[in-house]
Amino acid sequence: MPEPYWPKHKHAYLLSSAHANGSLLRIECRRCRVERFFVPSDLARVFGDIEVDDVARKMRCEKCGEKWSMRISMELPTAAQRATMTIRRLDRIYHVKRVTWRDLVGG
């Protein structure tokens, strides 16, 4: 008898839980084969405290610009592995304010 499908319930494993666990998130682009390691607390500051699986849907590859080719996995590296990794950390968040103008004739 096949096992029934159980839908994933919301808030299954959040970014805050991944940060408390001490794991890193490996996000890679399947198209251009670029992989990067992120700290979950930095991603939580950008996207909010969302599920780990939903982060890949919100990110876009910086190299090729694809959004739907991102794959995410969690890793708990050892100290020796962590010493050789390049980890991307959040530097700053800034918002761009754009202004549009319209012309009124005779006004």
Entry pTM:
0.78
* Residue 65 forms part of a structural domain: yes
* Residue 54 forms part of a structural domain: yes
Instruction: Write down the mean pLDDT value for the chain.
Output: 88
* Residue 98 forms part of a structural domain: no
Predicted pLDDT of residue 90? 93
pLDDT tens across 15-47, in order?
999 999 999 999 999 999 999 999 999 999 999
* Residue 57 forms part of a structural domain: yes
* Residue 66 forms part of a structural domain: yes
* Residue 4 forms part of a structural domain: no
Question: Does 16 or 6 have the greater pLDDT score?
Answer: 16
Predicted pLDDT of residue 12? 77
* Residue 21 forms part of a structural domain: yes
Q: How many domains does the chain have?
A: 1
- Residue labelled with tokens 């202004």: 99
Q: How far is CA 13 from CA 29, 49, 54, 79, 100, in A?
A: 22, 10, 10, 24, 41
Instruction: Report the pLDDT averaged over residues 48-58.
Output: 90
* Residue 37 forms part of a structural domain: yes
pLDDT at 10 over 90: no
